[in-house]
Structure 1
């Protein structure tokens, strides 16, 4: 087998199940921990005494996953286009 056909067979047989598993995981667990505050919702001051709310997640400690965000945008466009 030559290299291009090996790559093509990899993409045809491995990539769709991985994509399907990621889509299912985004449907089940749409949230992930915020990377800025590490899921706490708070950020320490430089001296470590005062906390403030994380701007990125608005103090919740959770952010929506990329796959779920893409799905939500797709549903919004579909909903607005069919009305």
Structure 2
């Protein structure tokens, strides 16, 4: 059990850093609702584009706006 916890402690920061890099490089991901069939013109989640911002990007934008609004 201690080996699994140690392995998780070593891998978690690298996985997190990798996800942050992916979100900064490619902020748009495929829409979850449109994924099986591609673009769905009636999808309300992505407005028919087939692309939605990733969760990490949404959190980054939220934190950036919160900082900007609080510092002015």
**Hey, which of these two has a bigger chunk of strand by percent?**
1
Q: Which residue of 1 aligns with 2:30?
A: 33
Structure 1: 5+ residue stretches without partners: 43-52
Could you state the TM-score of these two structures normalised by the residue count of structure 2? Answer: 0.82
Structure 2: 5+ residue stretches without partners: none
Correspondence for 2:13 among 2, 13, 16: 16
Larger Rg: 1
Could you state the TM-score of these two structures normalised by the residue count of structure 1? Answer: 0.72
**Whole-angstrom distance in 2 between the partners of 1:61 and 1:37:** 6
- RMSD of Structure 2 on Structure 1 (CA): 1.5
